[in-house]
Amino acid sequence: MGYTIGQKLIKSHLLSGDMTVGSEIGLRIDQTLTQDATGTMAYLEFEAMGVERVKTELSVAYIDHNTLQTGFENADDHRFIRSVAKKRGLLFSRPGNGICHQVHLERFGIPGKTLIGSDSHTPTGGGIGMLSFGAGGLDVAVAMGGGAYYITMPKMVRVNLHGALSPWVSAKDIILEVLRIMSVKGGVGKIIEYGGDGVKSLSVPERATITNMGTELGATTSVFPSDDITREFLKAQGRENDWVEVKADEDAVYDEVIDIDLTTLEPLAAMPHMPDNVKKVSEIGEIKVDQCCIGSCTNSSLYDMLKVAAILKGKRVNPNVSLTISPGSMQVLGMLSECGALADILGAGARLLECACGPCIGMGQSPNSAGVSLRTFNPNFEGRSGTADAGVYLVSPEVAAASALTGVLTDPRTLGEAAKITMPEKFVINDNLIDKPASVEEAKDLEVIYGPNIKPVPNGDALPEDIDAPVVLKVGDNITTDHIMPAGAKILPYRSNIPFLSNFCFRQCDEDFAKHCKEAGKGIIIGGSNYGQGSSREHAALVPLYLGIKSVIAKSFARIHQANLINAGIIPFTFTNPDDYDRIEKGDKLAIKNIRQTIENAGEAVLLNETKNESYPLTFSFSDRQKDIILAGGLLNYTRESNK
Ligand code: MIC
Ligand code: SF4
C-alpha cells in the first residue's frame, strides 16, 4: 500500500510513536517561525529553558501583528524578540517586511521539510509541499530547542480538484467551497491533501490561499504536491535548489475523498460570523457595502494584488466604500510599485496599509457601526474586526475589488472580461529587512533586552489529588480563541503581560468573567463542541491558568487549543454523554476526586455536581507524555523536571 504526502513526510520525520491514526507521534521539526503577538511568550519560554542557540535548520522571528506602536509596549516587544533572535541564532524579519506566512513562502519554505509556527495559519507552507503546523508558543520553543513536536496521527483526506477555474473565480472560492462541504469542524484530526488534474492549473500563491485556510477547517494541516509549478515559483525566487518533488503514491489510501469540479465553481462568500457559512455571491444579492479590505496571509500575494489592480485601473472606488490594501510583503509592494500596478490601485482611491496583518487582527480599520465589511481574510468571527455589530464577509480579491467599485456585494462576472495576469519570471529579491543572527562567538557578549511590560510567564502547580471548583462560565459551540482572549489594537500590546490581559478574558461572553474568577479563586469552564477553534494563541490557555481555571469540560476541542491547555496544565475533559452538558449551570459546585490517580491509570473520571447531587462520566485520552505534563502542572514544569 502506498503513502499519501502527509504519511510520507510524517514517516521521514518520525521520532516517536507509530503511525496509527489517533495515537500520538513525535516529529522532527526542520524549521520554525513565530510572529510577534505570540512570539514574545514563545521566546520568554525559550529563555526559561536555558538553551544557548536554536537547534533547528532555520528559525525565523517575524514582526507583523503588533505594528501600530501606540505606546512603548510593542516597541519593547520587538526589541526583546530582536535581541533573542540575534543572540540565539534566528533570522529576524523586521516590521514592514511582511506577514510571516507570505514572507516564509517567498524566502524560506522548502518542499518536503517540516515547519511549526506559533500562528495557526502556518499551514500556508503546504502550498509548496511543506508539512507545516500551527502550534502554541511553548511547542515552538521546545522545537527550537531541538525537541519533537507532538501531534495525534491524523486521518488523510484527499480533495480531488478537476478541471480549471472559470474567469473571475478564485482560489479563495475553492477553499470556501471546501469549508461549505466540510464545516469549521470537518478537518479536525485530518490532513487535507489536494490532488487531481486541477492542481496543475493553480499557481503556488493560489495553493497557499487554500492550505492557509485549512486552519478554518480545524485541520491538522493541508498540503499540495511539490511539482513543476512549485519549481518555477522557487526559481523565480532565486531558490530553485530548494526544490524537491513531493507527491503521493498512486496507490495511497485516503480515509475520505472529496471531488470538486473547478469548472462549475462560482464566486462565493462566507457570511457573518463563521468561515463555513458559505453562499454564492449571486445568491446573497447586492447588499450595501461599507468597507472592503484586501490582504492578510491568505490573499496578499503579488498575483492577488495584480488582479485587484487590473479591476481598479482607471476606475473610481465608490464614495460610500473604504477600500484598504495590505500587500503581504515588501517584495509584493516593491514589485507592485515597479510595474505601475500600485498607481492603478491608489489612483482608484484605495488606502494603502503597511505590509502586515493590520485589520485582520483588528489593528485598525474597524468598520463603522453595523457596517458590512468584505474581507479577503480568513476568520470572520464576531467582534474580531473591532466593531461588535459589524458583519464581516470573507470573499476573494476579485469580489472585494468589484464590490469596492459598485458599493454593493458584486459578482465580478458582471464586470465583463477578466484581465489576463502575467506573473514575472523573476521576483525582485531584497532581504534588507531580514537581520542575520550574531555568530556563536559574538553572541556570548549580547544581552536579551526586556522591557517593563514584559511580565513572567504564569506557571501552574503540580496537579492536586482532587479538583473542587465552581462553574465560572458556561458557553456554547464553536467558541473561538478570539472569545477567550480577544486581540485588537487596544489589547495586543499586552501580549507579554498576562496579568493585564486577564481583565479582557471572555469579555464578549461575560463582562465580569475575570472578576468572578478572581472572587472564586478557582474555576471550571463548561464548553460546547469545537471549543477553542481559531488561532494558536496560547494566551487563551495561559490567561485562564492565571485566573485559576483548573479544567475545561466540553463536548469537543479544537486541536491547537487542546494542546495549549495541556501545556498550561489545565485539563481538557470531554463529556462522555454530550447531554450532560445541559444539566450543568453556571455557579454549580463541581468536583473531580482522585484525579491524579485517575489520570495516571487512565481510569474512569467522574464529575460530581455537588449542587445538583448528580454525577457525569468524563472522557479523556491522553498520551503518556501528556499525562506526565498534566501531573507536573504544565509543559514548563515537565520540561524542567525532565532536565533534572
Ligand atoms: C490570528 O489569525 O488569529 C492570529 C492573530 O494570527 C493568531 C495568533 C495570535 O493570536 O497571535 C493565529 O492565527 O494563531
Ligand atoms: Fe495575520 Fe490575519 Fe494571517 Fe493571523 S490570519 S497571521 S492575523 S494575516
- Residue-wise pLDDT for 10-51, tens only, equals 999 999 999 999 999 999 999 999 999 999 999 999 998 899
For residue range 110-122, what is the model confidence (pLDDT) as tens digits? 999 999 999 999 9
Calculate the CA 384 to chain-centre distance: 14
Give, in degrees to the nearest 5, the angle at Cα 205 between 202 and 206.
Answer: 40
- Write down the pLDDT at residue 1: 86
pLDDT tens-digit map of 316-358: 999 999 999 999 999 999 999 999 999 999 999 999 999 999 9
- Strand positions, DSSP E, 415-570: 434-435, 467-474, 523-526, 549-554
pLDDT, tens digit, for every residue of 427-476? 999 999 999 999 999 999 999 999 999 998 998 899 999 999 999 999 99
In this predicted structure, what is the pLDDT of residue 644? 65
pLDDT tens across 537-584, in order? 999 999 999 999 999 999 999 999 999 999 999 999 999 999 999 999
Q: Report the chain's terminal Cα–Cα distance, integer Å.
A: 44
Residues 149 and 32: beta-carbon distance below 8 Å: no
Which is nearest to 620 in space by CA: 634, 636, 601?
Answer: 601
The CATH code for residues 467-642 is: 3.20.19.10
Which residues of the chain form CATH 3.20.19.10? 467-642
The type of residue at 156 is: M
- 8 Å CB contact between 279 and 268: yes
Which residues does a 6 A CB cutoff place in the pocket of ligand 1? 37-38, 65, 119-121, 134, 361, 487, 534-537
Q: Are 618 and 606 in contact (CB under 8 A)?
A: yes
Average pLDDT estimate for 190-219 = 98
Cα-to-centroid distance, 119 and ligand 2 (Å): 8
Q: What is the mean pLDDT of residues 179-188?
A: 96
Do 379 and 361 meet the contact criterion of CB atoms below 8 Å apart? no
How far is residue 369's CA from residue 79's CA, in Å, rounded to a whole number? 36
Question: Shortest CA distance to 569 belongs to which of 590, 586, 552, 592?
Answer: 552
* Residue 119 alpha carbon, nearest atom of ligand 1: 14
Other beta carbons within 10 angstroms of residue 439's beta carbon come to 9
For residue 297, the CA-to-ligand 2 centroid distance in Å is 6
From 536, 542, 560, 564, mutation site for ligand 1 pocket: most ligand atoms within 8 A of C-beta? 536
Indicate if the alpha-carbon torsion angle 154, 481, 326, 428 is positive or negative.
Answer: negative
Residue 628 Cα, ligand 2 centroid: separation in angstroms? 33
Q: C-alpha 492: how far from its chain's center?
A: 16
Inter-residue contact 161 to 194 (CB < 8 Å): yes
The single-letter DSSP state of residue 415 is G
Q: Are 498 and 552 in contact (CB under 8 A)?
A: no
**C-alpha grid cell for residue 481?**
480563541
| Smallest CA separation from ligand 1 atom 10, residue | 537
Q: Residues 138, 96, 118, CA angle at the centre, nearest 5°?
A: 15
Report the residue count for the chain: 644
The ligand 2 atom nearest the CA atom of 37 = 7
Per DSSP, 46 falls in state H
pLDDT at 243 over 80: yes
Place of cell 479577503: 376
At 114 the three-state DSSP class reads strand
Distance 361 CA to ligand 1 centre (A): 7
Within 13 Å of residue 162, how many CA atoms lie on the same side as its CB? Answer: 7
Is the distance from CB of 341 to CB of 303 less than 8 angstroms? Answer: no
**Which stretch, 188-197, 487-496, 599-608, has highest mean pLDDT?**
188-197
| Grid coordinates of 77 | 516587544
The single residue listed with the C-alpha cell 480538484 is 161
Concatenated DSSP letters of 549-587: EEEEEES-B-HHHHHHHHHHT-EEEEESSGGGGGG--TT
- Regarding beta strands 58-62 and 190-195, do their DSSP bridges make them parallel or antiparallel, or are they unpaired? unpaired
Q: How much is the CA Rg of the chain, to the nearest whole Å? A: 24
Percent of all residues in the chain with a pLDDT value above 90, rounded to a whole number: 96
Residue 340 and residue 60: Cα distance in Å, rounded? 31
pLDDT greater than 80 at residue 416: yes
Looking at ligand 2, which residue's alpha carbon is closest to its atom 3? Answer: 297
Q: What is the per-residue pLDDT across 495-545, written as a single tens digit (0 to 9) for each?
A: 999 999 999 999 999 999 999 999 999 999 999 999 999 999 999 999 999
DSSP string over 583-635: G--TT-EEEE-SHHHHHHTT--EEEEETTTTEEEEEE----HHHHHHHHHTSH
**Residue 422 grid cell:** 502575467
Report which of 105, 58, 80 is spatially closest to residue 453, judged by C-alpha positions. Answer: 80
Single-letter code of the amino acid located at 427: F
Give the pLDDT score at 642. 78
Q: Which of 62, 209, 377 has most ligand 2 atoms within 8 Å of CB, for mutation?
A: 377
The confidence score (pLDDT) of residue 602 equals 86
> Of the residues 102, 326, 353, 361, which should be mutated to test ligand 2's pocket, given the most ligand atoms within 8 Å of the CB?
361
For residues 57 and 70, what is the distance between their CA atoms, to the nearest angstrom? 35
Longest dimension (CA), the chain: 72
Residue 164 has pLDDT above 70, yes or no: yes
Q: How far apart are alpha carbons 324 and 404 in whole angstroms?
A: 10
Q: In this structure, is the dihedral angle defined by the CA atoms of residues 309, 358, 564 and 11, taken in order, positive or negative? A: positive
203 CA from centroid of ligand 1 (Å): 25
Question: Would you list the DSSP string of 141-205?
Answer: HHHHTT--EEEEPPEEEEEEEES-PPTT--HHHHHHHHHHHH-TTTTBTEEEEEESGGGGG--HH
The answer to whether residue 603 scores a pLDDT higher than 90 is no
**Regarding the domain delimited by 5-264, which CATH topology (the fold level of the hierarchy) does it fall under?**
Aconitase; domain 3 (3.30.499)
Distance from C-alpha of 494 to C-alpha of 486, rounded to nearest angstrom: 11
DSSP 242-266: G---B---TTB--SEEEEEEGGG--
CA of 368: how far to CAs of 51, 322, 612, in Å?
Answer: 47, 10, 46
Residues of the chain with CATH 3.30.499.10: 5-264, 268-415
Q: Answer whether CATH 3.40.640.10 is correct for domain 268-415.
A: no
| Bond prior to 101 in cis (omega within 30° of 0) | no
Which residues are CB-neighbours of 501 under 8 A, at least 6 positions away? 485, 491, 494, 495, 539, 543
**To 10 degrees, what angle do helices 539-546 and 559-568 make?**
40
From the CA of 296, which ligand is nearest? 2
Give the separation between CA 555 and CA 201, rounded to whole angstroms: 40
pTM higher than 0.75 for the full model? Answer: yes
Cα 370 from Cα 224, distance rounded (Å): 39
Q: Residue 51 is placed in which grid cell?
A: 538553551
The mean predicted confidence, pLDDT, of the chain is 97
The answer, yes or no, to whether residue 643 has pLDDT greater than 80, is: no
